[in-house]
Amino acid sequence: MAESEHPAFSGPTFSGKVYGFDAGFFDGQTAKRHAVRASRRPEGLAIEGDGISLIWRYPELVLLDAARDGHRVQICHAGESGPRLTMTGANVRYLLAQAAPQIGQAARGHRLLRPLLISGGLTAAIIVFALAVPYLSRSIAPLVPERWAGGLGDAVIAMVSETRTRCTAEGGRAALDRLTERLRAGREDIPAMEVGVIDDPGINAFAAPGGRIVLLEGLIRAAKGPDEVAGVLAHEMGHSMHYHSLARLIEALGAGIFLESIGGDFGSLANLALTLSYSREDEREADGTAVELLAGSGISTAGLADFFDRLAGESDDGGLSVYAALASTHPLSAERAQFVRQGTETGAATTPALSDEEWDALKAICDF
């Protein structure tokens, strides 16, 4: 197991040298890259810097990806559920493999199967089934290890926020967390969600793999009230709960290619994930789940229906609505808005998704 504390480094070194490499550490909980120094020590790989101090023992290192020239490797720890480390330096893979021979194994298939079997508990039979039946993307998606799905989700969000600021004003963050928990209350089937806001004027929202959900500030500004934001968030939670983003990736690549990509560099997959659109079946399923979540938390579905009506409409000049970005990724119809509007039974007791004070705080979440 990885250790958070370790004794001072001493004793013999490999060939009389302590090899160190510049590295980027991702904790698996956020998309932040921590600049660290990874050193090859007798007791294991030491990872230090930016408030991080770990020892990953060599037998428990798993290779996720490696550059052809061996100067960059990405590894994880078999006993952890999310952290990963990208190391760079001359011959880093060769030097690391002297202490961890499994890192030197060149067979890609072997590299990929091991983290799959360790982290997700997938059996060889499931993988063979997935490779043989690529069209069952909706059945395969839930089998993807959570650690890997979260890593991909982090990469998607990092790509989106490369030139934007993540909004973290304390009052707005607290209001968003409260809204998220209210929607999740009483539902044990809802996995942990990471919901954030990005300072972008676009009117859009999306659910990335691994329970990562992003709302753009423009969407919050365009909403007429907290019930509309709650409805959009519930809809995105529906996409996340049904693994729609992963299913679309599997469908686009084919199950075999997708599974071969697990453990590799997230960059190309993250870029592809941002270009894919949901199917009509996905949207209907997310709508249904949104209605359930809203009704179960005592929030009216009328807000989501009103938002959908505006989303599907046209601007005064006859051109595309200002909501075109969201409409392009979540195609709408009058029938869908009507379905959502009818989701709450007549006479059912509802209360606003947020108090007036919380709503004001959420609208100011990007004010720094």
Which residues belong to the active site?
Answer: 236
Reading the block at residue 314, the tokens are 């046209």
Closest alpha carbon to 178 in 195, 155, 197: 195
3-state secondary structure of 198: strand
Residue 72's Cβ-side half-sphere holds a number of Cα atoms within 13 Å equal to 7
Name the β-bridge partners of 320: 314
Token reading at 257: 């290619």
Cα–Cα distance for residue pair 31/191, rounded to 1 Å: 18
Q: Identify which of 142, 158, 126 has the alpha carbon closest to the alpha carbon of residue 24.
A: 158
Quick one: which of 163, 224, 233, 231 has its CA closest to 198? 163
Give every strand in the sheet of 194-198, ordered side by side.
Answer: 166-167, 194-198, 212-216, 205-208
Its sign, for the CA torsion 156, 120, 279, 281, is negative
Contact in structure between 130 and 259 (CB atoms under 8 Å): yes
Task: Give the side-chain half-sphere CA count within 13 A for 122.
Answer: 26
The token duo for 82 is: 């999310």
CB 354 within 8 A of CB 360: no
